[in-house]
A and B are shown apart, each in its own frame.
Chain A
Amino acid sequence: MCTMIAERASIQGSGKTENAWISIDSCDIYYDHPDHVDSEHAITLSFSNQLDPINSRISLEITPESAKEIIRKIKAALSKGDSLER
């Protein structure tokens, strides 16, 4: 069975669909078997607008190591950005 490991973040942002940008208010984070990427498990980031979560979904599927690398790089970017704002 799949792991059912799931977390949800309430966020404010926008995402690009096939046709247009839309408002995004949540990100579901799953650690589970992937649909596509060649890895036993993957982190799936599922961004959506909760007014229509199924049809607004924008997905990314990345290996756990890739997720850790992105976390490191986001932290680095945030750190640089925070220093600019001071």
Chain B
Amino acid sequence: MKNYKTHDYEGLIAETIQFNSANGDSINAYFAKPLHKGKFPCVVLIHHLPGWDELYKEFTRKFAHHGYIAICPDLYFREGNGSPDDVAAEVRSKGGVSDEQVIEDISGAVDYISKLDISDGKIGLFGTCSGGRHAFLLGCSTDKFDAIVECWGGNVIMDESSTNEKQPVSPSSLTANFSGSLLGIFGNEDTSPNPKQVNEHERLLKAENKDFVFHRYDGAGHGFNYYDRPIYRQEQSVDSWVKIFDFLDNKLRS
């Protein structure tokens, strides 16, 4: 993980942009890039179920601060305009967004970001909560990502009774198709995914001989790096960010 020294130059630009989903829809994204000269690896962020909120925009800037071109699409763009928590409540009442639509939106973001002249061609993916599940699902659906960070993705392990029209397949059933490298971050006090589900996720990845590493944290539950919520756990969060950037730097800069 790059640690800036006091005399280093730092600079980034961050703004809302529009890009085309793979299905042709024009949607919003938050975009950030370093202002240094040169080419940079890219990271696509998949926001959590609570929405395209200030937390995720800060995460996006955090990746740019660490030398990545970063883009975070608003997966709820089609649902209407309002405060992020109100829009997320509307999405939640409709059972979330469909896996198919998320795959199309993230694929469109990859096309957008990879064609930038400052892109070096390496692409990572980061997601938490529902975004963690989506990140693993994307890894099973495309070989575009060199490195994927899945943080507390619940419903990666789904039984048939919990699949539905929007989530028709358990991502775990697609494990054989996973490509790239995976970093999994989990809290041992989480209930979705709970430790038993994380163990099963790990077992399936091992059985398919996939390139992955999981880190599990005691004293932490779901969403433990959400500093704006009571579930925040400072020590575990700080350590997980070090692991996330070490992983991405290793996979995307070598």
Nearest residue, chain A, Cβ from B134: A1
Whether A36 lies near B133 (C-beta < 8 A) is: no
A35 to B87, CA, bound (A): 14
Whether B90 lies near A54 (C-beta < 8 A) is: yes
Question: Within residues 113 to 155 of chain B, which ones have a CB less than 8 A from any CB in chain A?
Answer: 129-130, 132-133, 152-155
Query: Across the A-B interface, how many residue pairs have beta carbons closer than 8 Å?
Result: 83
Whether B153 lies near A59 (C-beta < 8 A) is: no
Nearest residue, chain B, Cβ from A56: B86
Whether A28 lies near B229 (C-beta < 8 A) is: no
Question: Within residues 10 to 31 of chain A, which ones have a CB less than 8 A from any CB in chain B?
Answer: 28, 30
Whether A59 lies near B92 (C-beta < 8 A) is: no
Whether B50 lies near A35 (C-beta < 8 A) is: yes
Contacting residues, chain A, for B11 (C-beta < 8 A): none
Whether A55 lies near B132 (C-beta < 8 A) is: no
Listed stretches B76-84, B199-207, B244-252; interface member: B76-84
Whether B153 lies near A54 (C-beta < 8 A) is: no
B41 at the interface (CB under 8 A from A): no
Query: A54 and B87 in contact (CB under 8 A), knowing A2-B49, A28-B92?
Result: yes
Nearest residue, chain B, Cβ from A3: B192
Question: Within residues 161 to 192 of chain B, which ones have a CB less than 8 A from any CB in chain A?
Answer: 189, 191-192
CB-CB contacts of B84-103 with A at 8 A, as 1s and 0s?
01110110110110000000
Contacting residues, chain B, for A8 (C-beta < 8 A): 93
- B95 → chain A closest CB, angstroms: 7
B222 at the interface (CB under 8 A from A): yes
Contacting residues, chain B, for A37 (C-beta < 8 A): 230
Contacting residues, chain B, for A1 (C-beta < 8 A): 49, 129-130, 132-133, 152-155, 192-193, 222
- Kindly identify which residue among A2, A28, A46, A57 contacts B192, using a CB–CB cutoff of 8 Å: A2
A41 to B231, CA, bound (A): 10
Contacting residues, chain B, for A53 (C-beta < 8 A): 90, 93
Whether A55 lies near B129 (C-beta < 8 A) is: no
CB<8 Å pairs between A and B, sample of 25: A1-B193, A2-B130, A2-B192, A3-B192, A4-B96, A4-B155, A6-B92, A6-B93, A8-B93, A33-B50, A33-B223, A34-B229, A35-B85, A35-B229, A36-B230, A39-B230, A40-B189, A40-B221, A40-B231, A54-B82, A54-B87, A55-B82, A55-B86, A57-B90, A59-B86
Q: Enumerate chain A interface residues (CB-CB to B < 8 A).
A: 1-4, 6, 8, 28, 30, 32-41, 44, 46, 53-55, 57, 59
